Amino acid sequence: MPNQRSFHDTYLNKINTLAAEFRLPEAIREYQKYIQTYPRDVLGYIYYADALFKNNNLDEIEPILQKAEKLVSKKVNYKDVLFIQAIRLKLLVALNKYQEAYNYFMENEKDFYDIKSISMYKSFLEKKMGKLITDVSDTTYLKKQILLYQDETTLSHIKKQHLQEFADSFSLEAIYYELKKSLPNELKIRSGFLADCYIFKSLACGYDKGRLVDFLKVVTFSNSDEIITMFPYSNRERLDFIDLNNTLEGPKLKRMNQIEKFNKKYNQGLNK
């Protein structure tokens, strides 16, 4: 039942914390309850749509964005409008609708320039459209990989940024090319406009905040096998993963069942 109040900051912040911790199915259920109780809170719809995006529920997002748009005015709620536009742009890219994404970007270019690193996003779309990239002044790592992707450049970047985090026994280059074989796949986490994230299991692969861990986080350009970076990861969120341990049979997608999640959580509690 709708509430007399139009919003509830404390309730919404608690749900946002769930989403930030990548407890996405739980967060999505709570966002659904929230907008039923507070149907006039535009932020409820926006955060809900963003959680759906991260969880790869792409076909559910546009109706939520349309409801949010009915509640905002560009003059009064400029930041909310920009947030809606950014999610829609990410959605079009995730759906491989690059022509629509490019057109939408150009129609709202003045608004998007309030977003950090927007020139890089524009270059990404120009490359996908086969257009001549207009801004070549940015020589950052990501921009160079957008212009001309090379595995050797990524490996050099990983070694520079994360080599000390990997175990001495970890064969970085061999594992890098092995895990690429399974990319992209359905276990992606949509982490942004340009990037997807994946979790891989590789026993005792390295250290996350000084603790030996069994997982890797791998970041790629959207819908591709083009790796941006990778590093050891604790996977405390118990996210679904791709198992690299039996490389003879190739990487295997693995969804953690409820018993495994309970045992992992219980054992972590005992080890604290």
- Give 32-78 pLDDT, tens digit per residue: 999 999 999 999 999 999 999 999 999 999 999 999 999 987 666 78
Per-residue model confidence (pLDDT) at position 119: 76
For residue 133, pLDDT over 90 is answered with no
Per-residue model confidence (pLDDT) at position 3: 56
Give this prediction's pTM.
0.82
Residue-wise burial string across 205-229, b where 16 or more C-beta atoms lie within 10 A, e elsewhere: bbbbeeeebbbbbbbbbbbeebbbb
DSSP of 67-107 = HHHTT--TTT-HHHHHHHHHHHHHHHHHTT-HHHHHHHHHH
Per-residue model confidence (pLDDT) at position 246: 62
Give the pair of three-digit tokens for residue 172.
């970085």
**Residue 254 burial (CB count, 10 A):** 15
pLDDT single digits (tens) 162-171: 999 999 999 9
Per-residue model confidence (pLDDT) at position 78: 82
Per-residue model confidence (pLDDT) at position 267: 47
pLDDT single digits (tens) 88-124: 999 999 999 999 999 999 998 888 877 767 778 888 9
β-pairing, 195-208 vs 211-221, is: antiparallel
Per-residue model confidence (pLDDT) at position 268: 45
Name the DSSP letter for residue 166: B
Taking residues 232-242, report their average pLDDT.
93
β-pairing, 252-254 vs 241-243, is: antiparallel
- DSSP E strand stretches across 83-194: 189-190
